[in-house]
Amino acid sequence: MALTPELSQQTKSKEIVGVTLMSETVDNWSQIQTFQAKPNDLLICTYPKSGTTWIQEIVDMIEQNGDVEKCRRDIIQHRHPFIEWAWPPQPSGVDKANEMPSPRVLKTHLPTQLLPPSFWTSNCKFLYVARNAKDCMVSYYHFYRMSKRLPDPGSWDEYFETFINGKVIWGSWFDHVREWWEIRDRYQILFLFYEDMKRDPKHEIQKVMQFMGKNLDEAVLDKIVQETSFERMKENPMTNRSTVPRSVMDQSISPFMRKGTVGDWKNHFTVAQNERFDAIYKQKMEGTSINFCMEL
Ligand code: PPS
């Protein structure tokens, strides 16, 4: 089947207050900024490649009381509208959210200062997942390689510079994580770590369940742990992006469900890059109390 020009188009990046975003997002900025959040919305917030799809599936499994068939009603990208997503002529993330009945679960990668203001005034719930910077950076590199919408990342060494300078799409990891961490007590924010989810998934899933105001029994929780494991989600066509055309994501270059581990950065960083990264991290994250686990 011939590809429509839209489906084969690579995005150009544009900046808003120094944050690099896809040009289509920036072109749709007024619709995004005037989006009306509701008090019973749950917003899943992450820096890209931090375990967004994983937490989305967990939230949906909790919402559906562990009913696998209900979670298979649609691909994960359609179950939770992605607020800043824009790719005309497809409906935007805002269009999809506006059509969705409440209670809504929504997704964003936006940093705090770019979030539509109604999210702050609606008193809705935010579920933030953070992943250590090095693994996030590696995962994003492989995603850049396989995603035909994102610009070519160049070599690992070139991409390394782009990432530490915060010039990847959705901006600086350092600013994103630091700002969301700093406001965590001012709003209804459940702040989770990818590494904790790997270490003790049941414990973290229980936290999410309580945050969502649900009460599921042990057997259902165990089922959710099992169904949302990396291995199961990698095989699940509703979560593994296998329905996305190759012209958009070429999974023969790198699968969307790639490794799902903690510490893969060690297979990518040179000793010199690691030392440089640690120095930059110290400087950029100075004064914050956030702590990451870099290996399990
Ligand atoms: S995106 O495109 O920003 O929404 O990507 P995101 O879903 O945030 O991140 C993709 C990475 O998360 C890993 N992943 C998982 N890890 C552990 N368990 C489960 N169930 C799981 N599901 C997705 C996925 O493999 C990507 O990480 P890497 O390191 O590239 O494997």
pLDDT in tens, the chain (296 residues): 334 444 456 888 999 999 999 999 999 999 999 999 999 999 999 999 999 999 999 999 999 999 999 999 999 999 999 999 999 999 999 999 999 999 999 999 999 999 999 999 999 999 999 999 999 999 999 999 999 999 999 999 999 999 999 999 999 999 999 999 999 999 999 999 999 999 999 999 999 999 999 999 999 999 999 999 999 999 999 999 999 999 999 999 999 999 999 999 999 999 999 999 999 999 999 999 999 999 99
Gyration radius from the chain CA atoms: 18
Pocket probe for ligand 1: among 45, 47, 53, the residue whose CB has the most ligand atoms within 8 Å is: 53
Close Cβ partners of 122 (under 8 Å, ≥ 6 residues apart): 36, 37, 38, 39, 41
Please list the active-site residues. 109
The Cα angle at residue 148 between residues 35 and 22, in degrees rounded to 5: 30
Pocket of ligand 1 (CB under 6 A): 46, 48-54, 135, 139, 142-143, 228-230, 233, 257-260, 264
Integer Cα distance of 24 and 88 in angstroms: 8
**Boundaries of every domain in the chain:** 6-284
Domain 6-284 has CATH 1.10.510.10: no
Q: Atom 20 of ligand 1 has which residue's CA nearest to it?
A: 230
Cβ-proximal residues to 192 (8 Å cutoff; 6+ apart), any chain: 55, 127, 128, 129, 130, 204, 207, 208
Q: Which two tokens stand for residue 126?
A: 């935010």
Tell me how far the alpha carbon of residue 52 lies from the centroid of ligand 1, in angstroms.
Answer: 7
pLDDT, position 4: 45
CB 27 within 8 A of CB 111: no
* CA-proximal residue: ligand 1, atom 12 (nearest): 51
Cα(121)–Cα(26) distance, rounded to whole angstroms? 23
Q: Which residue has the CA at smallest separation from atom 5 of ligand 1?
A: 49
Four-residue CA torsion sign, 18, 21, 24, 28: negative
Hey, which of 227, 230, 249 would you mutate to test ligand 1's pocket, going by the most ligand atoms within 8 Å of its Cβ?
230
Q: Residue with structure tokens 């109390």?
A: 289
Distance CA 258, CA 234 (A): 8
Task: State the pLDDT at residue 123.
Answer: 92
Spatial distance between the Cα atoms of 161 and 174, rounded to a whole number of angstroms? 14
Atom 6, ligand 1: residue with shortest CA distance: 49
pLDDT at 10: 87
Q: How far is the CA of 234 from the centre of ligand 1 (A)?
A: 10
Spacing, Cα 139 to ligand 1 middle (Å): 8
pLDDT, residue 6, reads 46
